[in-house]
């Protein structure tokens, strides 16, 4: 028995895997059912394998058949490959659990196991060419033979059964199969399809669409507009890696995002600029408006500290990233960009009205 393919199942309204299983049967075997369940890397059961039905429709088809072929000269029976497709629904908390185990793996691969069982019937018969005068083995008995009968399609047919073995025997074969989904496949193919990284959708003004009137803006206005546009690009990158489940990369890119609103230049004192935007649109005193600027600085420092390999007490454990860290980084960045973009738009409108 073997796993042929594991992929996201796209025809389900809930996250699910599609699993194709194959097994090679002899012609003397008739299988009835294949069933099982899926296990995570630590052996915990994460879902059942449910048989996937074909498209509905009234039709008749051959599911299996038992062929009795001549096997003279000790020729082995023909074998056939049987494949079945299953789907395995995965609830949100199950995906979180699988993702948490993946982050503990050195290569960030997803390790799955499949406990499978097959119920089948085996027919114990021997077939061969009858030879006149040939001795029959003591442990075999002839149950059907023909010798030069004109009405027989096979004039030399002999079917033997062993009295010491049952003619028809029902059996169950159970096995455990392992399958690895590589980190790259999980990030690019599985995570988006399974819904990992979905977050609350917020409306964000497009920074690149802000109309900057050169007649009324100063150099610092123009540079701040450029930083907003760059922040929008970084946020899009954060969203892509978030959907792929690369939590550490989300935090890493959030550091670049917050740096755009923390690090000043000769043309732009960005912290004072943001303070002015908040004060002019909310009526808060300048000192109280600085609270949000200080919050940006702390978020910038938090992201930096997470990624830095050395802490105050020396070398610390490497930060591999958690889902909750990535969600915090993205949601705060998205909300802050929405805030300052709209404040800047209003600021430009007021400047234009005063001109």
Q: What is the mean pLDDT of each run of 10 residues along the chain (355 residues)?
A: 88 88 73 85 92 60 50 51 85 85 85 90 62 54 49 50 66 89 87 70 59 67 90 90 82 91 89 91 88 88 76 58 82 90 87 73
Ramachandran sector of residue 148 (left: φ over 0; alpha: ψ -120 to 50; beta: rest): left
Q: CA-to-CA distance for 171 and 181, rounded, in angstroms?
A: 32
| pTM of this structure | 0.53
Stated as kind and residue range, the H or E segment containing 183 is helix 183-185
CA–CA gap between residue 116 and residue 179 (Å, rounded):
13
Dist. CA 144–CA 123, nearest whole Å: 15
CATH number of 2-120+172-184: 2.60.40
Domains of the chain, by residue range, sit at 2-120+172-184, 125-165, 197-354
- 3-state SS of the chain: helix, strand, coil percent to 5? 40, 25, 35
> Can you give the pLDDT at residue 156?
47
Give the per-residue pLDDT at 155: 44
137 phi-psi bin (left φ>0, alpha ψ -120 to 50, beta other):
beta
């Amino acid at each position: 028995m073997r796993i042929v393919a594991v992929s996201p199942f796209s025809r389900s309204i809930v996250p699910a895997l599609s699993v194709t299983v194959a097994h090679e049967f002899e012609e003397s075997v008739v299988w009835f059912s294949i069933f099982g369940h899926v296990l995570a890397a630590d052996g915990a059961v994460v879902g059942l394998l449910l048989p996937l039905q074909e498209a509905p429709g009234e039709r008749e088809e051959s599911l299996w058949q038992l062929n009795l072929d001549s096997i003279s000269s000790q020729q082995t029976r023909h074998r056939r490959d049987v494949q079945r497709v299953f789907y395995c629904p995965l609830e949100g908390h199950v995906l979180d659990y699988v993702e948490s185990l993946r982050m503990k793996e050195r290569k960030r691969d997803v390790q799955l196991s499949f406990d499978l069982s097959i119920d089948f019937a085996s027919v114990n018969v021997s077939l061969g060419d009858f030879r006149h005068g040939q001795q029959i083995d003591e442990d075999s008995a002839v149950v059907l033979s023909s010798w030069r009968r004109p009405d027989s399609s096979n004039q030399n047919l002999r079917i033997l059964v062993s009295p010491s073995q049952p003619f028809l025997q029902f059996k169950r074969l159970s096995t455990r199969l392992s399958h690895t989904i590589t980190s790259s496949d999980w990030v690019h193919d599985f995570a988006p399809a399974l819904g990992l990284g979905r977050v609350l959708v917020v409306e964000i003004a497009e920074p690149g669409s802000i109309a900057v009137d050169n007649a009324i803006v100063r150099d610092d206005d123009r540079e701040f507009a450029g930083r907003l546009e760059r922040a929008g690009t970084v946020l899009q990158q954060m969203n892509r890696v978030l959907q792929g489940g690369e939590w550490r990369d989300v935090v890493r890119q959030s550091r670049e995002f917050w740096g755009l609103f923390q690090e000043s230049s000769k043309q732009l004192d960005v912290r004072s600029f943001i303070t002015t935007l908040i004060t002019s649109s909310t009526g808060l005193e300048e000192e109280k408006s600085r609270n949000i600027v200080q919050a940006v600085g702390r978020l910038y420092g938090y992201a930096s500290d997470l990624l830095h390999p050395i802490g105050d007490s020396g070398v610390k454990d490497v930060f591999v990233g958690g889902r909750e860290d990535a969600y915090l980084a993205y949601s705060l960045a998205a909300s802050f960009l929405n805030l300052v973009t709209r404040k800047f738009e209003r600021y430009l409108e007021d400047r234009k009205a005063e001109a």
